[in-house]
Amino acid sequence: MEGVSDSIDLNCDLGEGVGDDAALFALITSANIACGFHAGDAETIAESCRLAVLNGVAIGAHPSYNDREGFGRRALEVDDSTLLVEWSVQIDAVRVAAAEEGGVLAYVKPHGALYNRLQVDDHLARLFCSMMADASSSDTDVALLGMPDSALERASTREGICYFPEAFADRAYLPDGSLAPRSLPGALVADVDLVAERAVAIATGRGIRALDGSRIAIRATSLCVHGDTPGAPALAAAVREALADASVDIRSFA
């Protein structure tokens, strides 16, 4: 599904103990803050919220499976009741830290293997959105960030949760519009010029090349640049410059 916009959000996974967070906060508009289950702790959550408020960056919670050893990138089988508790604990940790720093939790973006599962698993997507709906009922409405046309987007629509689709400038795609598994050659795009070019193509609706060479268009209101990519600040800066040159306004969806 094509999407053309005169503005785009730049989101980044931060508070994970890798990369140069301080430099990235000055370049992005939304921060997906690790909640302590795949990376980070109370101190890094608080510091990330402080930097977000200082830089005018929207605060997002980045919950994951309880998997520090695998950095949240291993697919785990966990019962529903445990997942509900783990998700709530993680999101609440960022909500409280944000408030203490004078900010507010604006959105949630799941991390790693949990993110991938929620895009395709209707049951877990409904479970996650039911938890989100309950959390939002007594607090400021919290949005969801995920892939377009996914199980998570469908579930969020049913629950009345505001959903924002995102795309990945530094990840390769399969012809069906899904992310190429990290195990495939070329799944990670590290060339700065190419990432910047892809970011503009996505933001302006021109589409990008999938791994097989076919062209796909991706509906997105946000672009993700991973904070653990080598040279992430330079990459984010190049993306910002390329978007500005293409007259695409950079601002948070939140």
Query: Got the DSSP string for 68-134?
Result: TTTTT-S-----HHHHHHHHHHHHHHHHHHHHHTT--EEEE---HHHHHHHHH-HHHHHHHHHHHHH
Q: Spell out the domain ranges in the chain.
A: 7-250
Q: How far apart are CA 183 and CA 231, in angstroms?
A: 21
Which conformational region is residue 55 in: left (phi greater than 0), alpha (psi within -120 to 50 degrees), or beta?
alpha
d(CA 66, CA 72): 7
Torsion angle of C-alpha atoms 90, 92, 96, 98, degrees rounded to 10: 70
pLDDT of residue 139: 52
The contacts of residue 122 (CB under 8 Å, 6+ apart) are 151, 154, 155
* E strand or H helix at 249: strand 249-250
Answer whether residue 134 shows pLDDT above 90: no
pTM comes to: 0.94
State what percent of residues in the chain have pLDDT above 90. Answer: 86
**pLDDT, tens digit, 9 for 90 and up, residues 7-38:** 899 999 999 998 899 999 999 999 999 999 99
55-93 confidence digits (pLDDT tens): 999 999 999 999 999 999 999 999 999 999 999 999 999
pLDDT tier for residue 135 given thresholds of 50, 70 and 90? low
Helices 42-55 and 80-100, axial angle in degrees (round to 10): 50
The answer on pLDDT for 140 being more than 80 is no
Does position 6 have pLDDT exceeding 80, yes or no? no
Mean of all residue pLDDT scores within the chain: 93
User: What's the distance, CA 240 to chain centroid?
Assistant: 17
Q: Please state which CATH class domain 7-250 belongs to.
A: alpha beta
